[in-house]
Amino acid sequence: MTRSSSLPPPEPSRIDQLPTPALVLDLDRAERNIAAMAERARRWGVNLRPHIKTHKCVELGRLQRDAGASGITVSTLDEARVFAAAGFDDITWAFPVILSRIPECVALAELVTLRLVVDSDEAVDGLERSGARFPVLLKVDCGYHRAGVDPRSPAALGLARRLSESRELGFDGLLSHSGHAYACDSVTSIRRVAAEECEVMGELAERLRADGLVVPTVSIGSTPACRLAEAVPGATEIRPGNYVFFDRTQAVFGVCAPSEVAVSVVATVVSSRPDLGQCVVDAGALALSKDPGPPLAERPSMGEVFDDYASGALSPDLYVRSLSQEHGILSRALPVGTRVRILPNHSCLTVACFDELRVARGERLIDRWSIRRERD
Amino acid sequence: MTRSSSLPPPEPSRIDQLPTPALVLDLDRAERNIAAMAERARRWGVNLRPHIKTHKCVELGRLQRDAGASGITVSTLDEARVFAAAGFDDITWAFPVILSRIPECVALAELVTLRLVVDSDEAVDGLERSGARFPVLLKVDCGYHRAGVDPRSPAALGLARRLSESRELGFDGLLSHSGHAYACDSVTSIRRVAAEECEVMGELAERLRADGLVVPTVSIGSTPACRLAEAVPGATEIRPGNYVFFDRTQAVFGVCAPSEVAVSVVATVVSSRPDLGQCVVDAGALALSKDPGPPLAERPSMGEVFDDYASGALSPDLYVRSLSQEHGILSRALPVGTRVRILPNHSCLTVACFDELRVARGERLIDRWSIRRERD
């Protein structure tokens, strides 16, 4: 038996040398995506506070900051702690406060500016009891119907007033997420959702101001809305997240082209059955996630396969037909050893399957960046 | 501002004190599940080689070993390395060999017995070129139609013969996975799948033996088949994985009762909308996974809610209606701060969302065990 192979394998210098499955970041594309959104925010005269739940990667957060982002948005306190430790000092936790995690918020607020989001008296009660002085945003339901107060309800005004008058807390303004843009069936209807979000939020802000409240922030956004809107009247801040990578869902919606998607999963055929017209690759549910993609798509698929990555051309008949934990089934039989590059349905969930991004310029690998997917 | 809260919060001693979302292991249930499967293997006179991809937890692997497991099964080399480092020295990587990872296999095989699985000449070529002497199992398609050779094809005999005659490799026998048990619609049809798996594998083994080959191992199994089969004639080894926890999918199939499921996700209501008849909990796709559960279920649901955890009683009308990254939408409005305990659709994927299991005896927390979900 030869022992030479017990030496660590050399660091691969090209994508086609990577052990698979691997998550590859096309840095040129990510930089363009970051620059384009920063430019939109500048043109609109609003702050850009990118949602880093999409990448959970400190290096990408720094690129966003260098491009002009004023603070970041997170979805968990784990993300907040990682980015606080890396020097990000203005963080909005854009999730309704979890009562059992208020002590962790208090600890974090001693290190950074931690903006919190509420939509209930119970959450305000809990924050007031903590004794800490958090800036707090009121979460508003702008039509997505997930979290947030109905902007036309008495609760909206009541909670805003309560926050404004709180001796412990500071009312920082309004926050919404137009996630229902993902239920649209056209670019036109996404633009309408974006416009309605601005209207709803602007009207509520005006109503509060007419009532004597100070409303510093009106924070809105989703990637489809921020990418397709022509203006964001009334908003002071946008919080898109997915735009740094995009994915198949965004491409199906016409929000981006496949050639703009900055993450892909490189996989290898490990088993092939020409008699069944299919083969197995080494990217399953724990590499791609089980996100089914948008119902609007031409075909149900757990991921598409690039025919030509550089141009963004997708294969007409090769795609990920189904997934189990570590197996992906492709729709055609390819020889064992064939490598494919997969466009994921939902990059936020795909990225959360991996510990690192393999950073590439074209086909050349230039770095490895950690994905900080801790969940304590 | 009070600073007292900057002290680390005390370690919670009961489930109802846990910060949420949290993944709770009911150790009594897991121990019973482990003992019951070990007892079946003993009664059948076969080796039990549990698939640890379900838990990725060294402590649970030790409990399985202490109960009599002879070696373990893994789905990735990351899992293999973690368990090798923890002293598990007989590991089957039950996934068709990934050509680009053969150097990692060689390195690992210097530390432990690493059994590999192939179903193609390309994989045998790659292994022979490595110069290492692996025990190799031939993957057989017993009806699941994912990976494996058609047992009636000339390729089955050809590959087995090639492995037997290889100067570098050792032919260790046959391996199958009856994953199509998850497409069944009754306990009866699962039993039929289990019986067919044994028939197919037994027949092929006999054919190979008649042809002069030595077939040491006939390894089969899936949790539904192993749990419901009355016998496993012809098999020498079973490799169930999910049985240590079970989940909603297994309960829907009648493989277990909800009161036997050993993992649950504890979540808190963070936002409530009685006007919409729903509320939001802090367990989303990155706590439960986006596994849709079995189509056989009474209703589509991304997770069920226990009315009474101890008896396993599930709520008739409260369940997880939909998921986004960190949000779960429940089907009824509950007050903010309400805690729920969720039965996950697919425990393997749910567990892979967390870094640790909160280990409980009844309501009492007794330990924290790491989930080793590295993906290099």
Chain B residue with minimal CA distance to A356? Answer: B376
Q: Which two tokens stand for residue B361?
A: 């005896």
Tell me whether residue A180 is in a domain: yes
pLDDT tens-digit series, residues A200-231:
999 999 999 999 999 999 999 899 999 999 99
Alpha-carbon distance of B108 to B116, in angstroms, equals 12
Residue of B140, B325, B327, B365 for testing the chain A interface, max A β-carbons within 10 Å = B325
Q: Please indicate, yes or no, if residue A7 is contained in any of the structural domains.
A: no
Number of domain units in chain B: 2
Tell me: pLDDT of A5 over 50: no
On the question of pLDDT at B4 being above 90, the answer is no
User: How far does B276 lie from chain A, in Å, by closest CA?
Assistant: 8
CA–CA gap between residue B143 and residue A330 (Å, rounded):
18
Among B186, B212, B244, the domain boundary falls at B244
B251 falls within a domain: no
pLDDT of residue B14: 98
C-alpha A209: how far from chain center: 32
Q: Which residues of A touch B150 (CB under 8 A)?
A: 273, 275
**Per-residue pLDDT tens over the stretch B150-170:** 999 999 999 999 999 999 999
Percent of chain B with pLDDT strictly greater than 70? 98
Whether the Cβ atoms of residue A320 and residue A288 lie closer than 8 Å to each other: yes
Question: Tell me: the pLDDT tens digits for A23-79?
Answer: 999 999 999 999 999 999 999 999 999 999 999 999 999 999 999 999 999 999 999
Q: CB-based burial of residue B213 (10 Å sphere; 0-12 exposed, 13-18 middle, 19+ buried)?
A: middle
For residue A169, the model assigns a pLDDT of: 97
Average the pLDDT over B310-334 and give the result: 98
Question: Does B179 sit within 8 Å of A76, measured CB to CB?
Answer: no
Residues of A in contact with B374 (CB under 8 A): 355
- Report yes or no on A3 lying in a domain: no
- Cβ contact, residue pair A53, B325, below 8 Å: yes
Query: Which residues lie closer than 8 Å to A319 by C-beta, 6 or more apart?
Result: A299, A301, A302, A303, A304, A305, A330, A331
Rounded to two decimals, the ipTM of the complex is 0.96
Q: Are residues A97 and A190 located together in one domain of the fold? A: yes
Same domain, A181 and A230: yes
Residue B246 Cα to chain centre, angstroms: 9
User: How many helices and strands, by DSSP H and E, does chain B display?
Assistant: 11, 17
How far apart are alpha carbons B285 and B300 in whole angstroms? 15
Out of A275, A282, A290, closest to residue B349 by CB: A290
pLDDT at A1 over 70: no
Output the average pLDDT for chain A. 96
Q: Check whether residue B57 and residue B139 sit in a common domain.
A: yes
Residue A220 · residue A142 · CB < 8 Å: yes
Spatial contact of A259 and A32, defined as CB atoms under 8 Å apart: no
Per-residue pLDDT at B1 = 38
Mark whether A126 and A39 lie in a shared domain: yes
Q: Which residues of A touch B99 (CB under 8 A)?
A: 268, 270, 336-337
Specify whether B172 is located in the same domain as B293.
no
In terms of domains, do B188 and B268 share one? no
Residues A94 and A126 grouped into a single domain: yes
Residues in chain A within 8 Å Cβ distance of B287: 375
The structure tokens 């969930």 sit at: A349
Two structure tokens written together for B127: 């292994």
Find how far residue B13's CA is from the centre of its chain. Answer: 28
Is there a single domain that holds both residue A76 and residue A147? yes
Interface touch B374/A352, C-beta < 8 Å = no
pLDDT at A139: 98
Range of the domain at A222: 28-244
Residues B229, B158 share a domain: yes
Q: What is the pLDDT of residue B10?
A: 76
**Chain pair A-B, CB pairs under 8 angstroms:** 201
Higher pLDDT, B183 or B363: B363
Query: Is residue A251 domain-resident?
Result: no
The minimal CB distance from A130 to the residues B5, B276, B348 is found for B5
Q: Is residue B188 located within the same domain as residue B309?
A: no
Stretch B232-239: mean pLDDT: 98
Look at residue A53 and tell me if it is in a domain. Answer: yes
Extract the tokens encoding A343.
């466009």
Contact A5 B106 (CB under 8 A): yes
pLDDT band with cut points at 50, 70 and 90 for residue A3? very low
Residues A240 and A186 occupy one common structural domain: yes
Q: Are residues A122 and B290, on separate chains, in Cβ contact within 8 Å?
A: no
B2 pLDDT tier (thresholds 50, 70, 90) = very low
Cβ distance of A106 and B6 shorter than 8 Å: yes
pLDDT at B5: 46
CATH of the domain at A315: 2.40.37.20
Across the interface, whether the CB atoms of A336 and B122 are under 8 A apart is answered yes
At residue B116, the 3 state secondary structure works out as strand
**Co-location of B100 and B202 in the same domain:** yes
Condensed to tens digits (0 to 9), the pLDDT of residues A34-46 reads: 999 999 999 999 9
Does residue B375 fall inside a structural domain? no
Closest by CA to B138, choosing from B146, B121, B128, is B121
User: Residue B141: its chain A contacts at CB < 8 A?
Assistant: 273
- Rounded to 10 deg, the angle between the A121-130 and A154-165 helix axes is 10
Kindly state whether residue B249 falls inside one of the protein's structural domains: no
Residues of A in contact with B120 (CB under 8 A): 271-272, 336
Q: Which of A189, A224, A244 is the last residue of a domain?
A: A244
- A293 Cα to chain B: minimum distance (Å): 11
Q: Tell me: the pLDDT tens digits for A227-270?
A: 999 999 999 999 999 999 999 999 999 999 999 999 999 999 99
Give B275's contacts in chain A (Cβ within 8 Å): 150, 153
A-chain CB neighbours of B175 within 8 Å are none
pTM of the complete model: 0.96
pLDDT tens sequence across B77-118: 999 999 999 999 999 999 999 999 999 999 999 999 999 999
| CATH number of residue B32's parent domain | 3.20.20.10
Please answer yes or no on whether A98 and B282 come within 8 Å at the CB atom.
yes
The tens digit of pLDDT for each residue in A315-371 reads 999 999 999 999 999 999 999 999 999 999 999 999 999 999 999 999 999 999 999
- Backbone phi, psi, residue A323, to 5°: -135, 140
- Per-residue model confidence as pLDDT tens digits over A124-136: 999 999 999 999 9
For residue B352, with 0-12 CB atoms within 10 Å meaning exposed, 13-18 middle and 19 or more buried, which class applies?
A: buried
Asked whether the predicted pLDDT for residue B296 surpasses 90, the reply is: no
Question: Which chain B residue is nearest to residue A129, measuring alpha carbons?
Answer: B2
Residue B277 and residue B333 in contact, taking contact as beta carbons nearer than 8 Å: yes
Assigned token pair, A38: 């920063």
- Output DSSP code: residue B149: B
